[in-house]
Amino acid sequence: MADFGFSLKKARTVYLSKTDMRKAEQLIATVPSYKLCIGCGGCTASCSARQFTDFNIRKAHNHFRRGQYDKLEEELQKCMLCGKCTLVCPRGVNLRSLIINMRQILSNTTEILA
C-alpha cells in the first residue's frame, strides 16, 4: 500500500471491567485540569522529544486515562519537561504537572528530602 504518512488504525478494545482505573482516577484528582483535555494533539505537535523520537505525549496521557499503563513509565522518561505542550494547550491543561504526576503515580514515589 502506498505510504501516505498515516494509515487506518486497528480497532482497540479496552475492557473497563478488567482495567484498574485507580491510577487514572488518582491522576485526575491531582491534576484536575486534565478533565478539560479534548485530545486535540497540540501537545504532541509542539513536543521537543517528538522531534527526535516517536514519543507521543497525547497517546501517553490518553492511554493513562484509559487505564492502559503498559510501558508508559519508560515512555514518559523521554520527556524533557520543556513546557511547550503546556503553553500551547488550548484548554489550559497543566501538562507538565500531568507528566510529573503520571511518572510519580506509575513509579509510586514522592519527593524525598535528604
C-alpha cell at 67: 487505564
Residue 20 binds another protein, judged by CB under 8 A: no
Stretch near another protein under the rule CB under 8 A, chosen from 8-16, 20-28, 61-69, 90-98: 90-98
Q: What does the angle CA 40 – CA 46 – CA 50 come to, to the nearest 5 degrees? A: 105
Of 26, 33, 44, 68, the one binding another protein (CB under 8 A) is 33
Yes or no: say if 40 and 90 are a contact pair by the CB < 8 Å rule: yes
Residue 90 binds another protein, judged by CB under 8 A: no
Task: Work out the end-to-end distance of the chain between its first and last CA atoms, rounded to an integer number of angstroms.
Answer: 57
Residue 87 binds another protein, judged by CB under 8 A: yes
Nearer to another protein, 32 or 39 (CB): 32
